[in-house]
Amino acid sequence: MKDIIKYIKDENTFLITSHASPDGDNVGSCLGMLEFLTKIGKEAYYVLDDSFPQNLSFLYENYKIYESEEIKELLKERPYSLIALDCGDIKRLKIEPDLIEGASLICNIDHHKSNNNFGTLNYVVDNASSTSELVYNILCAVDENLIDEKIGIALYTGLVTDTGNFMFESAKDSSLIMAAKLLSKGVDKQKIIRSIYQSNSFDYLKLTAEVMMTLEKEKHFSYMILESSMLKKHSIDYNDTEGLVNHALNIDGVEVGVLFKEQSENVVKVSFRSKGWANVNEIAKAFNGGGHERAAGCTINKPIDQAVYSVLEKLREYMKIHGRSN
């Protein structure tokens, strides 16, 4: 932590980035950091080559989010360092590789169990609720008085989304204290909740209904399938499907919920969630993925039916090893 604070004080130009398929913690921690660095007079940019979820537009609409090409043009070979937030693996950073290679230093701030300390500086706390909570701790250590409503909205969004609205066990006393402190800075929590959870489009709910029709259950796990044709049919962007997997988990007796998302032909993104004892990070790792004990993912380069088959085999084996055969 001391090294991170010194780094923030000493450096001048920062590129802030995160993982592909941005979620609330990705966007919240990046914008909270961006706003803070700008406030203390630094040159900072949020760079991500991806599309952003509609339900977070209230948060990012007033910011410029750069693409790699634009940043290269803007910096024109000037030195910069890279802050990687909420990303467990350097390969998941969604910016062009030469921007990663060209950084004078990489500062890795994250809470993924699977984080392999890829930075020059690493601040990885795998039981933290969110990267936003880690960023909050860092900003408090630099100067708590500088945390204002704007920074608060960004960090509160990351905290709320990564804890499932304070539902997951990762939400601890420190997370609730952080929430309370941010509310005292003027954060309107109802506005955030309305935007994220209560502003779904009609098409999104129709898509949800179609995905839920695919729901299958074995004794301790259940799964659903999202085919790319369903996204097309309901005009929904792939990156707007973050919350769907939870429906597979919220079933009595089910420990692991899985969603198979067909990203394109022969590319299947698998999302895993668990409730209490199953370590889905371990299951995702078997397919070269990773994440947290209770939320993890991987990408399988196979046709969807073969990907489903492989994962179901693995899940049955996992349940058996843990004495919970079907």
Q: Which is nearer to ligand 5GP, 201 or 246 (CB)?
A: 246
Q: Which of 19, 220, 234, 294 binds ligand 5GP (CB under 6 A)?
A: 19
Q: Pick the closer one to ligand 5GP by CB: 68 or 131.
A: 131
Residue 114 engages ligand 5GP in binding (rule: CB under 6 A): yes
Among 103, 155, 295, 304, binds ligand 5GP (CB under 6 A): 295
Task: Tell me which residue has tokens 């090893």.
Answer: 321
The structure tokens listed for 32 are 């909270």
Residues 34, 124, 296, 304: which binds ligand 5GP (CB under 6 A)? Answer: 296
CB count within 10 Å of CB 165 equals 13
Name the binder of 226 from Mn ion, ligand 5GP, none, CB < 5-8 A by kind: none
Distance of closest approach, residue 179 Cβ to Mn ion, in angstroms: 16
**Which stretches of the chain bind Mn ion, using CB under 5 A?**
23, 25-26, 86, 130-131, 162
The answer to whether the beta carbons of residues 32 and 155 sit under 8 Å apart is yes
- By CB under 6 A, tell whether 18 contacts ligand 5GP: no
Q: Does 133 contact ligand 5GP by CB under 6 A? A: no
Residue 294 touches which member of ligand 5GP, Mn ion, none, C-beta under 5-8 Å by kind: none
Among positions 160, 182, 298, 311, the unique one binding ligand 5GP when judged by CB under 6 A: 298
Looking at beta carbons, which residue is closest to Mn ion? 25
Considering only 155, 289, 304, 311, the residue that binds ligand 5GP (CB under 6 A) is 289
Q: Which residues pair with 82 in a beta bridge?
A: 15, 106
Of residues 68 and 161, the one with the C-beta less far from ligand 5GP: 161
Which positions lie near ligand 5GP, rule CB under 6 A? 19, 88-89, 92, 112, 114, 242, 271, 289-292, 295-299
